[in-house]
Amino acid sequence: LGGSISRAIQQMSNATIIDEKALNDCLNEITRALLQSDVQFKLVRDMQTNIKKIVNLDDLAAGHNKRRIIQQAIFNELCKILDPGKSSFTPKKGKTSVVMFVGLQGSGKTTTCTKYAYYYQKKGWKPALVCADTFRAGAFDQLKQNATKAKIPFYGSYMESDPVKIAEEGVERFKKENCDLIIVDTSGRHKQEAALFEEMRQVSEAAKPDLIIFVMDSSIGQAAFDQAQAFKQSVAVGAVIITKMDGHAKGGGALSAVAATKSPVIFIGTGEHMDEFEVFDVKPFVSRLLGMGDWSGFMDKIQEVVPMDQQPELLQKLSEGNFTLRIMYEQFQNLLKMGPIGQVFSMLPGFSAELMPKGHEKESQAKIKRYMTMMDSMTNEELDSSNPKLMNESRMMRIARGAGRPIRDVMEMLEEYKRLAKVWSKMKGLKIPKKGEMSSL
Ligand code: GDP
Ligand code: MG
């Protein structure tokens, strides 16, 4: 998708005369690309109308940042679709909340329930799982297995065939046990059928959830809108989770789900494992959808805050994708100063959000300083190498001794380096603007 959209924009900006026709051609091309990416037809059509209103042809004709204006307009429109204008119910730690999951069979409910519980458990919550799926043979076993693995209390039954009763009993039991997040997994069917929706209504009445999360497989294509709408019409869906974003899914269905349920996407599933679960963030998602990488906002930020004379060097380093320990050292310095470049890096997904999570700034700073002390004991060769094999045990021991730290600290620092190198390498091949071209990216 990203490819065809940038091609369309490129073609238009190559046109000598930017008139209504050139813009229309470009928009048609983009429309096609969005449809192929499973964005619902009506959404695409509305978006096209909006863009025409926003994009002022006179500005375009004057030759100012044509590509940029259009790209930005598309970006903003897609972000707008993904923002339903209100946030969903957010559970509060220490207070009891009941969250019910709904969705078709195979959409990923049971897997996602556990991921959701695990996500909160890691933050110190007391989640619990209730299996109100009596339709699918083995449903309880699956939930039990997941829950046991994550050490999360669960409730269910092999004998009872009434999901309503199980939901009621399970919620009651975990309320008594002072769990603060009671998660009710439900059954699905292969199709959207009346019996399923009736069951969801009844379970919802019994469990009295504070939030109902609609779980949708991202690979269902154009069917997303109808499916989401059908669930919304039978129960009070308040949030959406999109699963299997690791596959070939093009992601456009997320826009449909939001439009149909008028509820925000809160997480996405990116794999079968418990921790393959990410908080949903509109802008990076749209960037990805448009093939702009995750770095659209990032490039803007660079232009905004990095002093002009430092931009080329920084971009050069980024585009080489070659992350050395020395670069890490420099970025740590920037992060600690929270100067302009530090601000830029705080925007990189996975960079400082993990390195310096909100609320833990003090500990994180101490950790970064510790890492830097160890790096001070490294040789130039070690700092400038991007060969991970160079760091053998004897080097690590020498560094540990030099810094007066245990060797496991050195190992931890090198692990962090590997993680950051991965983030950094995603920017490899970043197009570096030539002098004077910065603003027309
Ligand atoms: P349910 O019928 O809605 O409860 O769906 P399940 O939780 O049983 O999931 C159906 C299948 O999808 C299982 O094989 C899961 O492992 C798989 N699955 C769920 N979420 C994801 C995801 O985010 N990525 C991938 N690759 N597989 C997933
Ligand atoms: Mg299930």
So what's the pLDDT on residue 437?
42
So what's the pLDDT on residue 344?
60
CA of 232 to the centre of ligand 2 (A): 19
Nearest to 351 by CA among 426, 299, 245: 426
| Between 16 and 179, the higher pLDDT residue | 179
- Of the pLDDT bands very low, low, confident and very high (cuts 50, 70, 90), residue 70 is confident
Protein residues near ligand 2, an ion, with CB under 5 A: 109-110
Q: Output the average pLDDT for the chain.
A: 83
- Of the pLDDT bands very low, low, confident and very high (cuts 50, 70, 90), residue 438 is very low
Question: Which of 109, 111, 245 to probe ligand 1 with, by most ligand atoms within 8 A of CB?
Answer: 111
CA of 137 to the centre of ligand 2 (A): 10
E strand segments, 260-307: 265-269, 277-279
Residue at token pair 């971009």:
315
Residue at 413: amino acid letter: M
Q: What H or E segment, with its residue span, contains residue 243?
A: strand 237-243
Give yes or no for a contact between 185 and 131, defined as CB atoms under 8 angstroms apart: yes
- Who lines ligand 1 at CB under 6 A? 103, 105-111, 188, 243-244, 246-247, 269-272
Bridge partners of 155? 130
CA of 229 to the centre of ligand 2 (A): 20
Q: Is the pLDDT of residue 63 over 80?
A: no
Ligand nearest to the CA of 104: 1
Ligand nearest to the CA of 106: 1
Query: What mean pLDDT comes out for the span 230-236?
Result: 96
So what's the pLDDT on residue 88?
92
Provide the token pair at 405.
């730290």
Bridge partners of 129? 154, 183
409-435 tens-digit pLDDT: 999 999 888 878 877 776 665 555 444
- Residues contacting residue 188 through CB under 8 Å, at least 6 positions apart: 102, 103, 104, 105, 106, 107, 109, 133, 135, 136, 196
320-371 tens-digit pLDDT: 777 889 888 887 887 777 655 555 665 555 555 566 666 677 788 888 899 9
Q: Is the pLDDT of residue 441 over 50?
A: no
So what's the pLDDT on residue 222?
84
CA-based diameter of the chain, in Å? 73
Backbone angles phi, psi at 266, to 5 degrees: -110, -30
- Of the pLDDT bands very low, low, confident and very high (cuts 50, 70, 90), residue 147 is very high
So what's the pLDDT on residue 429?
59
End-to-end CA distance of the chain: 19
Go through the domains of the chain in sequence order and give each one's CATH number: 2-82 (1.20.120.140), 97-281 (3.40.50.300), 296-425 (1.10.260.30)
Alpha carbon distance 334, 152 (integer Å) = 40
Q: Is the pLDDT of residue 252 over 60?
A: yes
Question: Which of 272, 273, 274, 280 to probe ligand 1 with, by most ligand atoms within 8 A of CB?
Answer: 272
Q: Is the pLDDT of residue 3 over 60?
A: no
Give yes or no for a contact between 413 and 374, defined as CB atoms under 8 angstroms apart: yes
CA of 255 to the centre of ligand 2 (A): 24
Give the predicted TM-score (pTM) of the model.
0.71
Neighbours of 47 (CB within 10 A): 22
Long-range pairs of 334-338 with CB within 8 A, sequence gap ≥ 24: 335/368, 336/365, 336/368, 336/369
Neighbours of 113 (CB within 10 A): 29
| Between 61 and 182, the higher pLDDT residue | 182
187-231 tens-digit pLDDT: 988 777 889 999 999 999 999 999 999 999 998 888 899 999 999
CA of 102 to the centre of ligand 1 (A): 13
High-pLDDT (> 70) share of the chain, %:
80
| Between 436 and 186, the higher pLDDT residue | 186
CA of 106 to the centre of ligand 1 (A): 6
DSSP 3-state of 181: strand
So what's the pLDDT on residue 308?
73
From atom 19 of ligand 1, which residue's Cα is the shortest distance away? 108
